[in-house]
Structures are given as C-alpha cells and as structure tokens.
Amino acid sequence: MKDTLLLSVLLIVADDLRPSLGCFGDTVVKSPNIDQLASKSNVFHNAFVQQAVCAPSRTSFLTGRRPDTTRLYDFGSYWREHAGNYTTLPQHFKSSGYITMSVGKVFHPGIASNHSDDYPYSWSTPPYHPSSYEYEKKKVCKGKDGKLHANLLCPVDVSEMPEGTLPDMQSTEEAVRLLKAVKDESHPFFLAVGYHKPHIPFRYPQEFLKLYPLENMTLAPDPEIPKGMPTVAYNPWTDIRKREDVQALNVSFPYGPIPRDFQLQIRQSYFAAVSYLDTQAGQLLSALDDLGLANETIVVFTSDHGQCTGLDI
C-alpha cells in the first residue's frame, strides 16, 4: 500500500495548445474530457508562457526558472551545462521518494535536454518515446491525387499508417501500462505524459474532421498584418512552408497571404487535432479512475505554449 499521506502526480503536457477549449469559453472546439477535468479543478485564466517556443518554455516550467536564467531561447543548449545544475520538478519528486516516469514529449528532445530527456537526473526509468513519431514528417498524407505527401493538413486512416497507430495513441497506451505497473507500489509516482498534438503537422484520425464541417469554419478576426509592424515581430512560419500542400500554394516569402480557403482548412484541422488530443487525455483519465488511482492522484494539465491560428497566442 502507498503512503496515504503522499499523493501521486499525473502531469499532462500538450504541444502548441492555445486556450481553444470549452472550459476557456471556446464555443467551437469540442473538448469534453478536458472540460470535465477543468470542472473539478482549479483553472488558471491569467497564466502566461515565459517564451512561446517549445524548448525554452518546457525548460522554464520544469526547472522553475525564466529563460534569462536557463539561457535557453531556442533549442541549442542544455541548462546543466550552460546555466546551472538546477533541480527540475520531477527531480524534486524523485529525491523525495517518488517513482518518476516520462512518456512522450515532456522535456524538449535533443540538445535542450542532453539527448536524454534529462535522464537519470529527473526520471527513475528511461523516458519513453513513441516509435511512430519517426513518420510525423514523412510522406504519409494521402492527397487528392491519391499519392502520399508530407503535408501540413494530414487527416489519416490510422489503419493505413506505418505501425497502424499514431504517436499520441502509443503514448496513452504506454502511460496506462505504467499506471498499471505502479498501481500497487509502496511509493507514490510522478508520471508526466507529453502529447504531440495539436502541434504541426496536423496528422490525426480523419474521423475528427466530421466534428468541424468546413462550411461552419470562420476566419480569425484581424487577419491582416498591422501597418508599420517591425519585421522582427513577424514570424514567416518557415516550418509550415516546408509542407508540400503549403508549397503548392506558392505563397510569397515572407509576407504573402495564405488563401482564404486554406486558412479555413488550417483552423479546421487545428480544432480536429485538439479534439483528438482531448480523446487521448480522456482515455488516460479514465484509466486513472478504472485503476482506483483517481482519489490519490493530483492531475495537472497544461501546454508548453499556444498557437497562432490568426488569433492572439
């Protein structure tokens, strides 16, 4: 039996999730599972990301220090080597006797976490990464021509995907497996689950498109670039421009406008990816209930930063 005085922790981290959720007043997005969690939680309506880039943000909230302290503004340094040997949130729990586990994208992978997700400092066991993520930027999106492309918009038949699955599905399965494994441990656990969606490319099960008919989509307000805006304030979205469906638009660099119909499709796919994420989070939370762990586990749901879909980030 676990020490009943110590609660376990489930930290769920989304990737590029703006407050497009019902619990934040969004009337378009369908997010019943996250909304249900929010209904019995403390919800923060005035929270600000330290920097709206994956690695700096994740390093910041996992070390409790600002980017000016961690010296990370991009993806090219590891705080323990270039800033200071700062204790991380999971490391604190680990040193307090918790079993700490990482699934998916929690720390930003690569140089920013020493190519190890900060293992073994932060984690009791080696972090898990879904094998199907290697196909995320490959030609797996079936186009109107019937051929496979590396697209930005990529609703898929999961059964036709390499390995017959998607990264976030694998992460949910692994997280549930770990919950079952530690259910009867004497020590409490800290389990961090990092989902890849709704980060681009928008690769998700195609059935989620049905939730958002294109004829119901609207453009974001104020789509034009403000007059006199300095170039340093503009993001030309070079990563998005690499996608084949975007390249086919021949949008001029860096300020060329995206065609109206494609803007609507981007918003449609972003919302669909959010609902896909919501389903995965719901399965994970249901497992927590089914295993009898819900009443002894603190659940935290957050994102590394938002996403600009024509609205404020």
184-218 pLDDT, tens per residue? 999 999 999 999 999 999 999 999 999 999 999 99
Q: Are 34 and 12 in contact (CB under 8 A)?
A: no
With 90 as the cut, is the pLDDT of residue 300 above it?
yes
Asked whether residue 218 is domain-assigned, the answer is yes
Helix (H) or strand (E) holding 104: strand 99-104
Nearest to 64 by CA among 81, 75, 79, 44: 79
Asked whether residue 183 is domain-assigned, the answer is yes
pLDDT of residue 225: 75
Domain extent for 185? 8-229+260-303
Question: For residue range 249-295, what is the model confidence (pLDDT) as tens digits?
Answer: 999 887 788 899 999 999 999 999 999 999 999 999 999 999 999 99
How many domains is the chain partitioned into structurally?
1
Side-chain-side CA neighbours of residue 138 (13 Å) = 9
Q: Are 198 and 17 in contact (CB under 8 A)?
A: yes
Quote the CA–CA distance of 124 and 299 in Å, as a whole number.
20
Q: Are 33 and 281 in contact (CB under 8 A)?
A: yes
CA-CA distances (angstroms) from residue 28 to 111, 189, 272? 38, 36, 11
Asked whether residue 222 is domain-assigned, the answer is yes
CATH number for the domain including 134?
3.40.720.10
Asked whether residue 240 is domain-assigned, the answer is no
**pLDDT grade for 312, boundaries at 50, 70 and 90:** very low
pLDDT of residue 313: 32
Asked whether residue 247 is domain-assigned, the answer is no
**pLDDT grade for 179, boundaries at 50, 70 and 90:** very high
What mean pLDDT do residues 42-68 have? 95
Quote the CA–CA distance of 196 and 57 in Å, as a whole number.
15
Write out the catalytic residue numbers.
Answer: 54, 108
Q: 234: which residues sit within 8 A by CB, 6+ positions away? A: 225, 254, 255
pLDDT of residue 311: 52
Asked whether residue 251 is domain-assigned, the answer is no
